[in-house]
């Protein structure tokens, strides 16, 4: 069906079109000068020493685990409330995911108490995910990780330019990973970025990104090298310059778009503040956020009622989604023991409402009023 208000709207215009045309006319479309320019601009904006453009964020997470030397037989603490890539990358290196519950309905991010409870002698890393662009309890998580001497990898797919106490999410742990998938704050279709302040991690990721080759084709085309060696078993995880050019255009738009999203979120919070049947996650978060998505969690509900509410919203022309199905419930992970009552409740009772910078105040009011009517329709 055609929705009156979609879940997401791509923030593209002539800037992206011109960037692609200029790249095509340059006659260099694989990883080259625009990929390098994107890395430099990204590192500058995010306050990181190093940035590496990657084919997608799944690949970035994979390289992150390889860079901190996670191997077969190791365990990695992680949330189940995320997209599957957050956990699939652990399987790629032969390690075992150790699922941790989230804090609460209003803070559906990995719980420090669960991290402590699930830590073992086999734990080699922690992956956190900053849900909807809002921060995990990074002070407590980093204190524990530093005490145990294990790295923290930040899945910051939802959180470009989001902050915690003035520091960008993705720059607090050893490595930050970002997604440029088509519905993300920065959209290039496919693509991603890995950032780090650690020189050794940076060098290893750059090497593994492109087959373990010591020089790249763009360097050789400019006469900076005439040959290469392969010194490690690497991957083809490169970003091309067409996507990098789009990424540069998107990156320059990002601050203004996030300010617009900030207003959209404020309208939602005002319209829904007296609705007792829902909890709005991170409603009290005063840190700057990317506001990637806007979710509500239903109180005293179950998945059938949530799905009825989704149907009601759709019938009234409003597209919704669910962020996310619980990863530990997928068939491939059901052999891993996991008791995650809060995660399971959230996954059964969360609803994602439209969120993008060009939403109007009138549209947010319509979505909010329809949600209230839907709640009355479902719950009576």
Q: Which residues participate in catalysis according to the annotation?
A: 184
CA distances from 273 to 16, 86, 326 (A): 38, 32, 27
Integer Cα distance of 195 and 202 in angstroms: 8
Integer Cα distance of 123 and 152 in angstroms: 11
Closest C-alpha to 111, from 95, 96, 129, 124: 129
In the chain, the DSSP E strands lie at 50-54, 75-79, 96-100, 123-129, 152-155, 163-164, 167-168, 175-179, 192-196, 278-279, 294-298, 350-353
What pairs with residue 200 in β-bridges? none
What pairs with residue 128 in β-bridges? 154
Whole-angstrom Cα Rg for the chain: 21
CB 68 within 8 A of CB 174: yes
Integer Cα distance of 288 and 279 in angstroms: 20
Integer Cα distance of 181 and 329 in angstroms: 24
């Amino acid at each position: 069906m055609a929705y009156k208000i979609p879940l997401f709207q791509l923030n593209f215009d002539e800037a992206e079109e011109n960037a692609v045309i200029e790249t095509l006319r340059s006659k260099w479309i694989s990883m080259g000068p625009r990929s390098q320019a994107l890395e430099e601009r990204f590192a500058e904006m995010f306050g990181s020493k190093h940035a590496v453009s990657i084919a997608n964020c799944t690949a970035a997470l994979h390289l992150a685990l390889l860079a901190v030397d996670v191997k077969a037989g190791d365990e990695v603490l992680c949330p189940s409330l995320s997209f599957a890539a957050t956990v699939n990358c652990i399987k790629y290196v032969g390690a075992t995911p150790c699922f941790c519950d989230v804090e609460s309905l209003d803070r559906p991010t990995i719980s420090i108490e669960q991290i402590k409870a699930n830590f073992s002698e086999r734990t080699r890393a922690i992956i956190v995910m900053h849900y909807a662009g809002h921060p995990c309890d990074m002070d407590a998580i980093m204190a524990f990780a530093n005490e145990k001497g294990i790295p923290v990898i930040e899945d910051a797919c939802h959180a470009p330019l989001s902050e915690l106490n003035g520091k960008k999410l993705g720059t607090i742990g050893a490595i930050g990973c970002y997604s440029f998938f088509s519905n993300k704050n920065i959209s290039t279709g496919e693509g991603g970025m890995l950032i780090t302040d650690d020189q050794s991690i940076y060098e290893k990721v750059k090497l593994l990104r492109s087959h373990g080759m010591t020089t790249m084709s763009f360097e050789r085309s400019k006469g900076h090298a005439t040959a290469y060696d392969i010194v490690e078993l690497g991957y083809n995880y490169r970003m091309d310059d067409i996507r990098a050019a789009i990424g540069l255009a998107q990156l320059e738009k990002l601050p203004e778009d996030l300010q617009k999203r900030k207003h959209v979120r404020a309208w939602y919070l005002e319209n829904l503040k007296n609705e007792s049947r829902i909890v709005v996650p991170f409603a009290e978060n005063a840190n700057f956020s990317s506001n990637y998505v806007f979710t509500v969690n239903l109180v005293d509900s179950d998945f059938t009622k949530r799905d009825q509410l989704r149907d009601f919203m759709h019938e009234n022309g409003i597209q919704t989604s669910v962020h996310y199905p619980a990863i530990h419930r997928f068939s491939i992970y059901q052999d891993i023991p996991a008791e995650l009552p809060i995660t399971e409740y959230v996954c059964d009772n969360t609803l994602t409402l439209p969120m993008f910078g060009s939403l109007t105040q009138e549209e947010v009011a319509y979505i909010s009023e329809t949600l209230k009517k839907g709640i009355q329709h479902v719950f009576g």
